[in-house]
Amino acid sequence: MTELDNSTDLERTARAADSGANATRVFQSKLAGGSTIPTERVDEVATAAIKALHDVIRDKQVTYEEYDYLKKWMIQVGLDGEWPLFLDVWLEHVVEEVANADREGSKGTIEGPYYIPDAPMLPAECTLEMRADEPGTPLRFQGQVRAVDGTPLSAAVVDIWHADDLGFYSQFAPGLPEWLFRGRVITDDEGRFAINTMQPAPYQIPTDGSCGTLITAAGWHAWRPAHIHLKVSAPDHLLITTQLYFEGGEYVGTDIADAVKPELLLTPTPRADGQGNEVTYDFVLDPA
Ligand code: DHB
Ligand code: FE
């Protein structure tokens, strides 16, 4: 047990619940302008979505009691600030599938609610911000960014963010240093990068908010496997938003957000110097 593990379950749950409200706050600043989606498109999609729900009500013979609990629950999702969590866990993976179906390069997956732009810029060989007594297993994560024709992409940006060894994200769970495990790493002349960090832990959807209420009521589990988030970009290439997971890790086969793909699995090996693990993963970017 590390020092940071000393919080009680109660404290950890309380910290997890704050992440939902912060995710709503951060998202609200993302779409500052008005919508440019045409009326015909809103009509088309909204009509189809509402009809899909009508079909569920008929098919499942939904009762007034169930309808009232749905209303109560939806009101509470908003009050808890958990719409970003709900949407990113249960819908985003299909939006990503549709958006990136035609890509040839590396696989993408969901962004999730915890991305912060403008993280500190770091050189190709770097160590992410961490605390002096940071718990966990050190991980050296290295690789190369290339175009689909194999050309190395120098000065590409590997924007990385991940949870700590307790599954918490900086700037969302309180009490963590501002840029903990966040950085924008610039690849070298050969398109390479080498990032020293700590392996993240599995992430639990906050269980004391309304997403937790649904999970408990439906008898599901609340976990995502441990993962590293990335946005990889280079001039004249399509940005890829992805996540990498750990082969054989807990919840890899039962991710509540359904965002794991076989191409996104890392298999770290122990380092020769005994300083934790290392793993290599290359990114291939489609032309813009
Ligand atoms: C959520 C959290 C994540 O870390 C993630 O990658 C996707 C979704 C969530 O709480 O909604
Ligand atoms: Fe995440």
Q: In a 3-state reduction of DSSP, which class is residue 137? A: coil
Pocket test for ligand 1, best of 90, 169, 205 (most atoms within 8 A of CB): 205
**Nearest-angstrom CA–CA distance, 64 and 69:** 9
Mean pLDDT calculated for residue range 61-77 = 97
Average pLDDT, the chain: 92
Residue 21 has pLDDT above 80, yes or no: no
Residue 14 has pLDDT above 70, yes or no: no
Ligand 1 centroid, distance to 63 Cα (angstroms): 31
Ligand 2 centroid, distance to 60 Cα (angstroms): 33
Nearest ligand to the C-alpha atom of residue 88: 1
Residue 8 has pLDDT above 70, yes or no: no
- Determine the atom of ligand 1 nearest the C-alpha atom of 19: 10
Between 30 and 83, name the one with better pLDDT: 83
Between 132 and 26, name the one with better pLDDT: 132
Of residues 198, 156, 136, the one with CA closest to residue 3? 136
Let me know if 73 is exposed, middle or buried by CB neighbors in 10 A (0-12, 13-18, 19+): middle
- Determine the atom of ligand 1 nearest the C-alpha atom of 112: 7
What's the pLDDT at 69? 97
Could you give the percent of the chain with pLDDT greater than 70?
94
The CA angle 188-260-122, to the nearest 5 degrees, is 25
Ligand 1 centroid, distance to 88 Cα (angstroms): 6
**Nearest-angstrom CA–CA distance, 259 and 242:** 9
Spell out the residues 6+ positions from residue 56 whose beta carbon is closer than 8 angstroms to its own. Answer: 62
Ligand 1 pocket list (CB less than 6 A):
85, 88-89, 110, 112-114, 203, 205, 224, 257
Of residues 111, 104, 109, the one with CA closest to residue 285? 104
> Token digits for 163?
């949870």
User: For ligand 1, atom 8, which residue shows the shortest CA distance?
Assistant: 112
- Determine the atom of ligand 1 nearest the C-alpha atom of 169: 4
| Full DSSP string of 183-212 | EEEEP-TTSEEEEEEEPPPPEE--SSSHHH
Pocket test for ligand 1, best of 111, 181, 203, 252 (most atoms within 8 A of CB): 203
- Determine the atom of ligand 1 nearest the C-alpha atom of 229: 6
The CA angle 285-181-287, to the nearest 5 degrees, is 10
Domains of the chain: 7-288 (2.60.130.10)
Residues 16, 208 contacting (CB under 8 angstroms): yes
Distances in whole angstroms, Cα of residue 76 to Cα of each of 18, 85, 206: 15, 13, 14
User: For ligand 1, atom 1, which residue shows the shortest CA distance?
Assistant: 112
Residues with CB under 5 A from ligand 2 (ion): 112
> Token digits for 1?
């047990």
User: For ligand 1, atom 3, which residue shows the shortest CA distance?
Assistant: 112
pLDDT band at 31 (very low <50, low <70, confident <90, very high): confident
**Nearest-angstrom CA–CA distance, 140 and 266:** 12
Ligand 2 centroid, distance to 13 Cα (angstroms): 17
- Determine the atom of ligand 1 nearest the C-alpha atom of 85: 11
Task: Indicate the helix (H) or strand (E) that contains 24.
Answer: helix 9-28
Spell out the residues 6+ positions from residue 264 whose beta carbon is closer than 8 angstroms to its own. Answer: 107, 109, 242, 243, 244, 245
Residue 17 has pLDDT above 90, yes or no: no
Of residues 245, 259, 279, 219, the one with CA closest to residue 100? 259
pLDDT band at 90 (very low <50, low <70, confident <90, very high): very high
Q: What is the pTM of this model?
A: 0.91
- Buried b / exposed e along 219-236 (16+ C-beta atoms within 10 A): eeebbbbbbbbbbbbbee
Tens of pLDDT, residue by residue over 241-264, are 999 999 999 999 999 999 999 999
User: For ligand 1, atom 10, which residue shows the shortest CA distance?
Assistant: 85
Task: Indicate the helix (H) or strand (E) that contains 19.
Answer: helix 9-28
User: For ligand 1, atom 6, which residue shows the shortest CA distance?
Assistant: 112
